[in-house]
Amino acid sequence: MATSALILLATLGTALAQPWGKALGLGSTKCSPFPMLLLGRSTIGSKAADFKNISGQFFEIEWEGLTPTGTTGRQTVPGATRNTTVPTTEGTYDVVETLARYDQYPDGTFAMYFDLGNAPIPFQNGQGTFGGYWVTFETAYTGTSETFVSWKINSCFTGSPFNFTELKEGSLANAVKILSSQGQLHGQTFPATTNDVA
Q: Which of 37-41, 114-118, 144-148, 182-186 has the lowest mean pLDDT?
A: 37-41
Q: Who's near 95: CB < 8 A, 6+ residues apart?
A: 3, 5, 83, 84, 85, 86, 116, 118, 121
Whether residue 8 has pLDDT greater than 60: no
Strands of the chain, DSSP E: 36-44, 70-72, 81-88, 91-104, 110-116, 121-122, 129-143, 146-157, 190-196
Average pLDDT over residues 130-156: 90
Contact 3, 132 (CB under 8 A): no
- Residue 155 belongs to domain with CATH number: 3.30.530.20
Task: State the first-to-last Cα distance of the chain, in angstroms, to the nearest integer.
Answer: 23
Q: CA 42 to CA 191: how far, in whole Å? A: 6
Whether residue 11 has pLDDT greater than 60: no
76 within some domain: yes
Whether residue 127 has pLDDT greater than 70: yes
136 within some domain: yes
8 within some domain: no
Interval 172-198: pLDDT, tens: 899 999 999 999 999 999 888 877 765
6 within some domain: no
Any idea how long the chain is?
198
Average pLDDT over residues 118-139: 86
3 within some domain: no
81 within some domain: yes
Interval 14-55: pLDDT, tens: 233 333 344 333 334 455 444 677 788 899 999 999 999 999
Q: What share of the chain is helix, strand, coil (3-state, %, to 5)?
A: 20, 40, 40
Domain hosting residue 50, numbered range: 13-196
28 within some domain: yes
Of 166, 175, 192, 169, the C-alpha closest to 2 is 166
46 within some domain: yes
Return mean pLDDT, the chain: 79
pLDDT of residue 181: 96
Phi and psi at residue 79, to the nearest 5°: 100, -15
Contact 132, 33 (CB under 8 A): no
Instruction: Give the count of domains, the chain.
Output: 1
Whether residue 60 has pLDDT greater than 50: yes
pLDDT of residue 28: 40
pTM: 0.78
Specify which of 44-48, 116-120, 162-166 reaches the highest per-range mean pLDDT. Answer: 44-48
Higher pLDDT, 13 or 185: 185
pLDDT of residue 17: 32
Tell me the percentage of the chain whose pLDDT exceeds 90. 44
Whether residue 3 has pLDDT greater than 50: no
Q: CA 91 to CA 3: how far, in whole Å? A: 13
b/e 67-83 (16+ beta carbons within 10 angstroms → b)? ebeebeeebbeeebbbb
Contact 1, 65 (CB under 8 A): yes
